[in-house]
Chains A and B, each alone.
Chain A
Amino acid sequence: MLKLPLKLSKLNSQRMLGNDIVDLRLAKIQSNWKRQNYLSKIFVPSEQHLIYGSQDPEIVVWQLWSMKEAAYKIVNRNTGARFYGPKEFVCNLLPNNIWGNGTVQYQRETFLTHSFLKADYVHSLCLSLDAHPEQIRVIPLENKGNYQDVFNSGCDGISLQKNKCGLPEIYLESTGIIHPATVSHHGAFCFVAFLT
């Protein structure tokens, strides 16, 4: 009985990708995650447990946050709905997984995530279950001014444009195919990602 809605939601969704970047240096300036009630407003108890149980709670805060944001981008693109409901996206971290090192659960939908934890940033990619990690292409950009201009001046045969709704998409000249894209920028970093 429980499996029916899962199947239905999968049928209704399309291959989707979301990403989110946190510049750790800027996050230190912009956000005080130790502020009273801050974590409980955005993280469910199981996520707070992951944070407090970690040797580096700050990294886990931004890893979980970027996972939620990346999953929200998929839901927002699928539904058109805008809302600020971080606790509706419930994160889990998976040990020893080849690609996905996390999952995000939103209502009946599960997304696979992979977070790159670097010294100066955390970058999370979030994938719908019908897509494959090998289909992901990620292009780093300098985060200066208009990312569309920066992208299009630096890449040949591939261009970044916006669709009628203002959402980013990639046009590949070689195939003539348009791919929905996800863009995230924060501080010094900008990443464009899309599924081939």
Chain B
Amino acid sequence: MDKQEILTGLKEIVSLYTEEQSELANINDETDFILDLKINSANLVDIVLDIEEKFDITIDDESMAKMLNVKATVEIIQTKLSKDVG
């Protein structure tokens, strides 16, 4: 799965928890879930659970701690996917 596919999947997930449509339309590496997309912090755990289900991976606590923006989240998904393949 390439980065673009991961980003598309991630965008589908976060769209469920944000009302910031213009930020969502312009989603990029720097987009911050809380500061830009105004996602409620209690919903970040839903995003983590949705990612686990969609990509069939397990997000550990240490990884979850970094998942505040698109760049970190995509990198974590990429790393977990490559480990599962290996």
Contacts and interface: CB of A to CB of B under 8 A. Distances in A.
A86 B68 CA distance: 13
Interface in A10-40: 22, 27, 30-32, 35-38
A130 B52 CA distance: 41
A41 B48 contact: yes
Contacts, number: 43
Interface of A: 22, 27, 30-32, 35-38, 41-42, 65, 69, 82-88, 186
A42 B64 CA distance: 10
A37 B41 contact: no
Contact of A30 (B42, B61, B68): B42
Nearest to B63: A84
A83 B64 CA distance: 8
Contact of B49 (A30, A37, A83, A84): A37
Contact of A38 (B45, B67, B68): B45
Interface string B53-82: 000000001001111100000000000000
Nearest to A31: B42
B46 interface: yes
Contact of A35 (B41, B49, B67): B49
Most chain A Cβ neighbours within 10 Å, of B42, B48, B52: B42
B44 interface: yes
Contact of B61 (A22, A36, A85): A85
Contacts of B40: 30-31, 186
Contacts of B67: 84
A85 B64 contact: yes
A82 B68 CA distance: 8
